Structure 1
């Protein structure tokens, strides 16, 4: 994931902003439940991208991945509409507790830019629905040049999302979050329709960093900077915030680990899972990761 990539991560301030009062209020209003759901995973499951993860001889990449993680942020669906048979195969491959969080097709977000997209949306949802109960939450990711001047398209898209499947949205133009009039209207729209506001933490786009939840689900897309020290320190800070959110009433956490160069995403996700288990009492299996290859391997 190249979004927000920088050459010198040590020059950036990775401080997580404080929660706005609206997030605190939302979580307090959430009906408390003993069932706190946590899904942590990567964005891809193939050997080419996930270095130091697959043992030698593994052929069923999804099968092995799903034995280690309980979820996947499914980026492959952004590039094309897979047939229902593919979703059915994926469904049959993974365990009962595994969840997919697929990205809606780029035809919807980048080519048509939410204009006259209902047919494409219906096709995406229809095929994704073959994941049945293992379909977690599809999400829409808009390009960074999609600005608030097209707010009406966002309104129409959300109002037309009548599926029972919950939806998350990620917007990347800075004005969505840094123009108070726009951001307040956006958050009100998402919250009124039960749409989850995706939180993105990446080095080169600190202008997008905000902590405004619009549902009792936190959907975090976290991008490491391929710097071992700062990446782990950043995850430690996220764990502190997640602890606070859980106490305040958060019901579900979706946390997906990326890197600019996907070298250590599984290890960073394992690092996060191990510490979440200790801090909030989850009992997620800790994925096995292989040691980095040595100079003479």
Structure 2
């Protein structure tokens, strides 16, 4: 994932601190707390088809046809970017659903035919095909992931709302905004989040080094969809995860329903390591009991007498120069 990427030598200049929650977040969670729901936490990656995970979290000699089955043994959800590049079919998604447990959730991204080529206009035929395709997931279908084209500015708000209102009301939807004006213009910012709230659509928070404006901390529903983009297990990846764990802990206390946390790296090779660290810290600080990914190297003699794998070690924090905000870079349209 290249969105928000900065060069390695510039990482230490980024202010990675999470901003305070937006004003509407506390209100949204307070309304939900009275319902007394037990929060659910889902942790996953963006894809399962990683050959470089064979020998890491997939057993040696695992065939590609079995990747999803093994992926679902380590994670309870997937941010399904594959559906962005290719229209899903019912038989395809039904087949994928058969390979995972009942508690697993697929979170498919709307195809680029809808969001990037036609930019949400005159897309009924494509949208019907997409919805028919993802219906094969059945009860394992999680929220749908809508990313309007990054060049769509606030003046396209009506187009965005019309598309959202055209969808079946029983579908759960999260929207990722990328055009900088959604965040830099106060009136546009208020308008789009009010629109999402009245349509009961969630707002995706994307934590990437070079686009700190997308870390908006505004929950338009009592659920969070977080896309975390790490930097190859740089020490700041771990301190950033620590901050997220503490924020999620606060949200759980305030009444959040669900958290979907998707781990990305610019090189996805190392997403499992950081996911394991996240899960360990959530279990430690938030009282969750999320099963940790088990690495191949942890199986066997590396286990202790009780069969538990040793915890992922957090690198020693390096001394950083005072943080400065990295310059905003143009978003890559497909990620």
Verify same fold: TM over 0.5. yes
Aligned residue for 2:42?
39
Any stretches of 5+ residues in structure 2 without a counterpart?
298-335
Compute the displacement of 1:281 (Å). 1.4
Residue equivalent to 1:56:
60
Check conservation: 2:233, 2:270, Cα contact below 8 A: no
SS at match of 2:73: helix
Q: Which moved more, 1:182-191 or 1:41-50?
A: 41-50
Is 1:289 the equivalent of 2:295? yes
Whether the aligned pair in 2 keeps the contact of 1:88 and 1:131 (CA below 8 Å) is yes
Whether contact under 8 Å (1:33, 1:251) holds in the other structure is no
Structure 1 residue 207 displacement after superposition: 2.3
SS at 1:73 equivalent:
strand
Map 1:79-118 → 2, pairs under 5 A: 79-118=85-124
Q: What whole-Å deviation, never above 9, does each CA across 1:257-286 have from its counterpart, x for those lacking one?
A: 000111210111111011111111111110
Shift in alpha-carbon separation, 1:49–1:196, aligned structure 2, 3 A: farther
Deviation of 1:49 after TM superposition, in Å, equals 5.8
Mapped to 1, the partners of 2:256 and 2:15 lie a distance apart of: 26
Compare 8-17 and 253-262 and name the one that shifted more: 8-17
- In structure 2, the partner of 1:9 is 11
Q: What is the number of equivalent residue pairs in this alignment?
A: 292
Deviation at 1:142, TM superposition (A): 2.0
Matching residue of 1:207: 213
Aligned partners of 1:155, 1:142: CA distance in 2, in Å? Answer: 11
| Farther off after superposition, 20-29 or 241-250 | 20-29
TM-score normalised by L of structure 2:
0.84
What's the offset of the Cα at 1:209?
1.9
SS of the equivalent of 1:131 reads helix
- What does residue 178 of structure 1 align with? 184
How far residue 82 of structure 1 moved from its aligned partner, in angstroms, is 2.1
CA distances 1:70-127 after superposition (whole Å, capped 9, x unpaired): 1111000000112211111111110111110010100111000111112211211111
Distance in 2 (CA, whole Å) between partners of 1:74 and 1:182 is 29
For the residues of structure 1 that align with 2:4 and 2:100, how far apart are their CA atoms?
A: 32
1:219 shift after superposition: 0.5
Residues 118-157 of structure 1 mapped to structure 2, 5 A cutoff:
118-157=124-163
Larger Rg: 1 or 2? 2
Cα offset, 1:163, TM superposition: 3.9
Looking at structure 2, the residues matched to 70 and 227 of structure 1 have their Cα atoms a distance apart, in angstroms, of 22
C-alpha distance in 2, partners of 1:119/1:182?
A: 30
Does the CA contact (< 8 Å) of 1:9 and 1:227 recur in 2?
no
What residue number does 2:324 align with? none
1:246 to 231, 241, 252: 252
Question: How big is the shift at 1:34?
Answer: 4.1
The SS at the match of 1:19 is coil
> Please, which of 195, 199, 203 is the counterpart of residue 197 of structure 1?
203
Range with bigger deviation, 138-147 or 239-248: 138-147
What's the TM-score, normalizing by structure 1? Answer: 0.95
Q: Is the 8 A contact 2:231 2:266 kept in 1?
A: yes
Aligned to 1:264, the other structure's residue is in SS state: helix
Kindly state the Cα deviation for residue 290 of structure 1 after the two structures are TM-superposed.
Answer: 4.7
**What is the SS of the residue equivalent to 2:238?**
helix
Equivalence for 1:294: none
Is the 1:49–1:262 contact (alpha carbons within 8 Å) kept by the matching residues of 2? no
Structure 1 residue corresponding to 2:31, chosen from 25, 29, 32: 29
